[in-house]
Structure formats: C-alpha cells, structure tokens
Amino acid sequence: MDKLEDFLRYSVLFLYYGELFSKKQKQYLELYLEENSSFTEIAEKYGVTRQAVFDNIKRGFKQLEEYESKLKIFEREKELKKRLENLKSNFTKENLEKIIKDFGYDEVN
C-alpha cells in the first residue's frame, strides 16, 4: 500500500472513530489528517517536540486500525456499497432481500 492510500484510509477511519480519542490526540490527528499540518507545525502550535507529535500520530494510527479490526464499520460500509452498486445492474427482489438479510437490516423494527 502506498502512502497516499494509507493517508486516505486513516482519514476515513478517523471520521468513524475520532470521537474515541483523547482531546489532545484528537487535535493532533485532526490537524494532520484534516488540515494537512506537518509534524513541525503541530509541534510548534502545542509547544512540544516534532518527535512527540510523530509518536502520538503513529500511536493514533495504530488505535484506528485496532478500532476497525474490532468494529469493522469501514469494512462493512465498503462491502455494502459494493453490493448496492452491483444491485443497480442486477436488480431483483431476491438480491435486495439477500443484502438486507446479510447486513442484518431485516432485524431492525
């Protein structure tokens, strides 16, 4: 995987799981992922070392991966989107009902 793909993945994961972070870590990740701030810019803003910012963001990325491995919200959404795109070109009531059942939406009242 290349750096741009990684960056985009972490950006999306942060949209899902950002509220689970501490205030400080959330601020660092927001600046890095959403505002495209460098480690140096973040370090200067908060009066810490560039290494501290780097370590904090690296730890944040690891947490994002852990959240996704446990909750699988991003993975599930990607699969649902793929199946719905396929349904557009291959629509049958049975295919729709299968998607509804596979994703557990038939259990929603």
Mean pLDDT of the chain: 93
Q: How many CA atoms lie within 13 A of 65 on its CB side?
A: 8
Q: How far apart are CA 20 and CA 79, in angstroms?
A: 24
- 31 shares its domain with 83: no
Confidence band for 104, pLDDT divided at 50, 70 and 90: confident
Q: How far apart are CA 61 and CA 37, in angstroms?
A: 16
Length of the chain: 109
Task: Give pLDDT, residue 47.
Answer: 98
Q: How far apart are CA 25 and CA 46, in angstroms?
A: 12
- 19 shares its domain with 67: yes
> What's the pTM?
0.81
Q: What's the domain count of the chain? A: 2
Query: Whole domain around residue 34: which residue ranges?
Result: 3-71
Residue 23 has pLDDT above 90, yes or no: yes
> Mean per-residue pLDDT for 82-86?
94
- 38 shares its domain with 80: no
- 39 shares its domain with 91: no
Question: 48: helix, coil or strand?
Answer: coil
Q: CA–CA distance from 25 to each of 21, 67, 82, 92, 99 (Å)? A: 6, 15, 32, 46, 37
